[in-house]
Structure 1
Amino acid sequence: MRTHTGEKPYKCDQCDYSAARKTHLHIHRAKHTGERPYKCDQCDYSAAHKCTLDRHLAKHTGTKPYMCGECGYRTADRSHLSQHMRIHTGEKPYNYKCDQCDYSAAHKYTLDRHLAKHTGKKPYICEECGYRTDDRYTLSRHMRTHTGEKPFKCDQCDYSAAHKCTLDRHLAKHTSGYRTTKNTSPNI
């Protein structure tokens, strides 16, 4: 019933987030703790929630049963297909409109990143160099510059990369007849 009333009685004690369901608050809190107890047994991936790990494991099997009828995009996750479809429909749900300007987004995480521009808050800080960001994932990507971690592995040779886009460029070299030039621009 709270879906219809908009009531969100479950409040986060670390930020202004509130939820209609207790389970949603529990999922949210993992963003603050950084705890990721669910580990993939096939790679270095870990997740805060079992359902997230389950979605990740489907990528190891290569099974992508959900397909876009417009462009052929395939995914292992039904919600990803739903989000993808917004590219074709142009839909930007009412829930994802900025309350401080005319900006609207098709995805909640995109709106969240936009809202940080209004507040200027960058709560995620690199203890090595002081780099600050408004996004936990961006900080974890940044940390690879210090750790040298390269979690994205080529399945056709021993190459590995710190960022998925770098691995994607490398994989293109394995496809027949395709040549790439070395990109010397910094990769974030």
Structure 2
Amino acid sequence: RFKCDYCTYKSIKRTKLQHHIHKNHLNHLSALSVEETTIDKRFGQYVSKKNLNWFECKYPKCKYGTIRSDAIVRHMRTHTGEKPYKCRFENCDYKTIQSSTLKKHESKHTTR
């Protein structure tokens, strides 16, 4: 469960806690704006993006951001269409954004 630091509110969903804090306790966030904060998924607490290595998507109208450099690289591929992982099996043109998805795909070739 994710607990609000400012009241007794609890939620089983991190996103609901995030919405609750933004709606009810923004003044408790040291006057930081919604855009300047994010939730630390490890602890379910709000933190300033300035205290993190924060990576934001630069595509217009995309609000994606993360503290993980690998996640922003993978996310950017959704915009560029880049699919660097290619199936190694003959006559298969499958390509994907993530290596884990490729492993799952290739297992279908071997279980037939």
How high is the TM-score relative to the length of structure 2?
Answer: 0.49
Q: Which has the higher strand share?
A: 2
How high is the TM-score relative to the length of structure 1?
Answer: 0.30
